[in-house]
Structure 1
Amino acid sequence: MSCNILKKSIKYLKGLSLKKAYLFNTELNLYTYEDLLFFYPKGYMHLYAIKNISELSNHDNNFVQILGKITKIEEINYKNKKGKMLIAHFEDETGYIELVWFQKKNILKNIIKNITVIVFGKVKYFQNKIQIIHPNIKKFHSSVKNFSIFPVYPIPKNLKEKGVNNFFMTNLLQNLIEELKYDINEFCFQDLMNKKLMSRKKALIQIHFPESLDSLLQAQYSLKFEELFLLKLFFLYKKELAHSCSSVKVKGRKFL
């Protein structure tokens, strides 16, 4: 992996404004591409079925995933016209719901109308309408199974209030991995160890965007093995360095 690009400031990353880059620095201690790449999810949400919109009536406050299309987007005032929120009309063959964002900045760039996407979030009811607030959205591919794993990142509350949620993080990490895809090298010890490890590039992608539970577990094992291997090398180096310094002192000592 290229050291130069890893040390590049996150303020240059597509999708991150200078103000949000500063918040990442101060609130999350993330300064470089490398910091963000190794900012792992704190956990994962596992969903085993895609719901129809007509089935959501009994899922209040539950997390669900739905397959459909965004057909309309509008911006409306709230808080006595002091703030604006974004509402998207999302529908499948059985009905429609509203997707709501209270922080609309950068959201419009990531929403494309009339293409099939998977929406993930918690079901809410407001004025007899079904809504999902700040949902995660990802493109649907024909190879996608009726199962999804969504990463959950450790984001402080004050950052969430400024629009930095899981949806924002996943889009940001997609941009990062796209920029780094030709600069992620393999584990330096891959050929030396009798271990069946996932390639480093694939492991780093799967840890953020797991295709399956098996892929996620393999990625976690490979990255943990790398961390322990490098930690062991570090301690061996420190031990050897301490031994060398001790030998130099003994040889240089003057006896009366």
Structure 2
Amino acid sequence: MNILQTEIKFIPGVGPKRAEILQKEIDVFTLGDLLRWYPYRYIDRSRMYYVHEIDQSQAYIQLKGKITAFETFGEGRKRRLVAHFTDGTGFVDLVWFQGVRFIENKYKFNQEYIVFGKPSLFNGKWNIPHPEIDPYMGESDRPEGLMAMYNTTEKMKSHYLNSKAMQKILESAFGMIKERLPESLSPDVVKEARLMPFHDAVENIHFPKSTALLKDAEFRLKFEELFYIQLNIVRYASDRKSKLRGVLFPKVGRYLNSFYKKKLPFPLTDAQKRVIKEIRKDTASGKQMNRLLQGDVGSGKTLVAIMCMLIALDNDFQSCLMAPTEILAAQ
């Protein structure tokens, strides 16, 4: 069986209950679906900040320091745990609203930790709600590079399927892959467009080794998406041409000739003449025509449309000119 068809429940860290949530919330049923569930942004974990550097412009921040004390405030559902954290340049409060007893027993005073989270200002003091905390074991243990962030729903979070948990599940999924993922585009297309191989693109979109490799991965996957969209459009148009007949406009009559020779106060541009000839050829072929006419403001697109409407009138058909707004319709 293709490894990509593996049911999501068989990936380590998922199981039947979590699999049901992933299926309902984000339409992920297989390992292949999971790999194509891409991050929505990335956070640079390569830099360590000091507490005194925290400001409101920072979406996320990473600190290294020690917990000096715990305090508990409130009762019942309003109960919260606050850890006073310092790196020697200042203090920041780490705040938890859930798992108070577990958190208080897990972390120790005067042991160095790496703290990562979103800083906010409350009553004039900086705090980080529900931060990620890891013991600091030395420079070799320091987080590096870009970290993928995933959009998760409230129901996913309630089952501990937040962005970090999903990243661990994706790591487990990659651990199940023993061979390179099969290429999803032809070798000629990959070579001609100078694309990153599919396996490398998927790996770097989830676990980017560098900013440059992330950009190459994003380009590859965006190219592939647009390539297949365009391919479907071309195939659909080809099917319509071969299977469905269009209305035949065999002649050009007095309405178009009279307008062109007597009513038009200026000569057509070469581009207008070329487009009208192309449309005339299509409408005389008996095949359906779907056409997008693109041009700058004032280039004469509406005039081309009117002259094509006159061809329809010459062949005893009605036509309709539509505008997207009332103002444009009045113009």
Flag whether TM exceeds 0.5 (same fold). yes
State the 1:16 CA deviation: 1.6
2:218 corresponds to which of 220, 236, 240: 220
Aligned partner of 1:175 in structure 2 is 172
Matched letter for residue 30 of structure 1:
V
Q: Secondary structure at the match of 1:30?
A: coil
Matched letter for residue 132 of structure 1:
I
Residue deviations 1:128-156, cap 9 Å, x none? 996533445799758976xx433332222
Unpaired segments ≥5 residues, structure 2:
245-331
Aligned partner of 1:254 in structure 2 is none
1:150 aligned onto 2:151: no
Q: Flag the 1:52–1:218 CA change in 2: closer, same or farther, 3 A.
A: same
**Contact kept? 2:5, 2:30, Cα under 8 Å:** yes
State the 1:103 CA deviation: 6.6
State the 1:172 CA deviation: 1.4
State the 1:158 CA deviation: 3.1
Matched letter for residue 195 of structure 1:
A
Matched letter for residue 35 of structure 2:
L
Matched letter for residue 174 of structure 1:
E
Q: Secondary structure at the match of 1:151?
A: strand
Q: Secondary structure at the match of 1:63?
A: coil
1:161 corresponds to which of 154, 158, 168: 158
Q: Flag the 1:48–1:13 CA change in 2: closer, same or farther, 3 A.
A: closer
What's the TM-score once normalised by structure 2's chain length? 0.52
State the 1:127 CA deviation: 10
Aligned length: 232
Unpaired segments ≥5 residues, structure 1:
247-256
Q: Flag the 1:98–1:215 CA change in 2: closer, same or farther, 3 A.
A: farther
> Partners of 1:84 and 1:9 in 2: how far apart?
40
State the 1:37 CA deviation: 0.8
Q: Secondary structure at the match of 2:193?
A: coil
Q: Flag the 1:102–1:158 CA change in 2: closer, same or farther, 3 A.
A: farther
Aligned partner of 1:21 in structure 2 is 19
**Contact kept? 1:155, 1:165, Cα under 8 Å:** yes
> Partners of 1:52 and 1:37 in 2: how far apart?
36
Q: Secondary structure at the match of 2:119?
A: strand
Q: Flag the 1:143–1:196 CA change in 2: closer, same or farther, 3 A.
A: farther
Q: Flag the 1:48–1:14 CA change in 2: closer, same or farther, 3 A.
A: closer
**Contact kept? 1:90, 1:98, Cα under 8 Å:** yes
Percent identity over the alignment? 30
Aligned partner of 1:66 in structure 2 is 62
State the 1:169 CA deviation: 1.6
> Partners of 2:198 and 2:83 in 1: how far apart?
38
**Contact kept? 2:117, 2:128, Cα under 8 Å:** yes
Aligned partner of 1:194 in structure 2 is 192
> Partners of 1:179 and 1:129 in 2: how far apart?
45
> Partners of 1:189 and 1:9 in 2: how far apart?
27
Higher strand residue share? 1
Aligned partner of 1:122 in structure 2 is 118
**Contact kept? 2:185, 2:224, Cα under 8 Å:** no
Matched letter for residue 50 of structure 1:
M
State the 1:10 CA deviation: 0.9
Aligned partner of 1:230 in structure 2 is 228
> Partners of 1:12 and 1:86 in 2: how far apart?
36
